[in-house]
């Protein structure tokens, strides 16, 4: 039952952070292209990559804390923060408006940048956890 609490709390905090940040980014860069959701998904991918490296068996997070880190941070916070459903809605809106280039760009940039971000986060997280000699 405690797991549901941590996932729910993390999800609520992640959703509120996403809402605030998407408004901030939209005000700065405009709403023609969904820059806010793209930036949020890339940031969330990077963070989940770092967390994955930190919580793997060789990572610095102790085994007793891995479940909490996974439930609260990865599933809850990152799950509430990143938004594939918003990405899909924004892409559909662009397609309905016949903005083919923006729709295709949103899909390609989101997939490429989020994969790059999760890899970079994992790489940096793994590098940071290596013992110093």
- Is the distance from CB of 87 to CB of 34 less than 8 angstroms? yes
Residue 101 CB partners (closer than 8 Å, separation 6+): none
Looking from the CA of 67 toward its CB, the CA atoms found within 13 Å total 5
Mean pLDDT of the chain: 91
Q: Where are the domains of the chain?
A: 37-57+65-133
The residue-averaged pLDDT of 92-97 equals 93
Q: How far apart are the C-alpha atoms of 130 and 123, rounded to whole Å? A: 11
The residue-averaged pLDDT of 77-81 equals 92
pTM above 0.75, yes or no: yes
């Amino acid at each position: 039952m405690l797991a549901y609490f941590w996932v729910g709390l993390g999800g609520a905090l992640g959703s509120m952070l996403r809402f605030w940040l998407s408004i901030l980014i939209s005000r700065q860069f405009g709403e023609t292209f969904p820059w806010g959701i793209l930036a949020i998904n890339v940031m969330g991918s990077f963070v989940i990559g770092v967390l994955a490296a930190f919580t793997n068996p060789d990572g610095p997070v102790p085994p007793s804390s891995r479940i909490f880190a996974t439930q609260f941070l990865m599933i809850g916070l990152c799950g509430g923060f990143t938004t594939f459903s918003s990405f899909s809605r924004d892409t559909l809106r662009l397609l309905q408006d016949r903005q083919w280039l923006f729709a295709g760009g949103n899909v390609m940039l989101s997939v490429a940048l989020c994969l790059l971000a999760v890899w970079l986060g994992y790489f940096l997280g793994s590098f940071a956890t290596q013992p110093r000699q």
